[in-house]
Amino acid sequence: MLVGIGGAGWYVWDTYQDNIRSIMGWEEPKDYEAGQADGEALVTIVSGDNGSSISRTLASAGVTKTPEAFYSMLISTGQSPTFYPGVYKLQKKMTSAAALKTLEDPASKLENSALIREGVTEETILKNLSETLKIPLEDFRAATKDPSKYGVKADSLEGWLFPAMYTFDPGATATDVIKTMVARTVRSLNDAGVPDSDRQRILTIASIIQREARSSDDFYKVSRVIENRLRPNNQETFGKLQMDSTAQYGYGEMHDGTASSSQAALDDDNPWNTYVHTGLPVGPISSPGDTAIDAAMHPADGPWMYFVTVNLDTGETVFSATYAEQQKAIGQMQTWCRAHPDSGC
């Protein structure tokens, strides 16, 4: 009886702990405490970034504790600073106030450097490069117009511009920059053992993994879900791959800040939308990193056919083998989203 009561209590806590914390006033602190900062974190600011978007970027880089911490600090203190594009060196586990002070310090900005985040699109990368390296965007668009001059057999360089931290010589041209990034992608493909003939397919899968998975362990599980659903006998059962990231990419709503897709995106008949077309999309949807590329080549073993992130703050993701299990997990996600209406659901 005690075991049953304990199990029931744990289920209630695990499922509703956010609601319970809110009611009881037990919320976790949104910000780190002074004195916890250590290590190094690189953060990119681009034109158009504001306090809200930078707040999410800082949390993603491990600088601040939660996606809303930095922005909440700006609002509560009535500050409206000007942020300049570039790559900045900060520390992990900083207070929001300390992070702001560092971003305002010119010594924190790295010159002739560009930090490309994983999972962003070619167009976003080119704008980032232009703003941080002070090279005209038109030069980058011209440099990427013909992928064949970099040895890439594809219609575009989507997926081929490797996400990493780069430092270039002051006289580097747009072509020099793109050549370096493509070469870095080739190195990652070689390290993962990808045959030349299979590179575009693996990059396409890796780009989906990069957008869908929330942790390094999940990369290999998401890869398995993709492979399982692509099997001919499973395609007859499930019909299509149905990855939201592909629908968002094809419809142009990939970076709108929400995890869910609009109905218009899900219904749009573009060649990337795996809700409409069978098999993989026509090409990559983002630039994947080393782990995503390796996961695309080496999926985990498992029977999973579905997955859903049930906590967008922690990235907790539930993988399911059956539709019934998936529906239960979706219910868990919906409960979390109702309790966190401003968390990007």
Q: What is the pLDDT of residue 252?
A: 87
Positive or negative: CA dihedral 206, 210, 212, 215: positive
The position carrying tokens 């990369």 is 219
CA separation for the pair 330, 308 (Å, rounded): 7
Reading the chain (345 residues) residue by residue, the pLDDT tens digits are: 454 555 555 455 455 545 554 555 556 788 999 999 999 999 989 878 899 999 999 999 999 999 999 999 999 999 989 998 888 999 999 999 999 999 999 899 888 899 999 999 999 999 999 999 999 999 999 999 999 999 999 999 999 999 999 999 888 999 999 999 999 999 999 999 999 999 999 999 999 999 999 888 899 999 999 999 998 776 666 678 999 999 999 998 876 556 678 889 888 989 999 999 999 999 999 999 999 999 999 999 999 999 999 998 888 999 999 999 999 999 999 998 998 887 777
Q: CA angle 178-184-188, nearest 5°?
A: 145
CA separation for the pair 115, 83 (Å, rounded): 16
CA separation for the pair 14, 8 (Å, rounded): 10
Query: What are the chain's domains?
Result: 38-110 (3.30.1490.480), 118-191 (no CATH), 198-339 (no CATH)
342 contact partners, CB below 8 Å, separation of at least 6? 68
Q: What is the pLDDT of residue 71?
A: 94
Consecutive H or E run containing 92: strand 86-92
Q: What is the pLDDT of residue 33?
A: 93
Structure tokens at 48: 């158009």
CA separation for the pair 306, 225 (Å, rounded): 6
Residues 63, 98 contacting (CB under 8 angstroms)? no
Which candidate, 42, 338, 296, places its Cα nearest to that of 159? 296
Provide the H-helix boundaries in the chain.
Answer: 2-24, 51-60, 69-77, 96-103, 122-133, 137-143, 174-191, 199-212, 216-230, 232-238, 244-251, 263-267, 290-297, 323-339
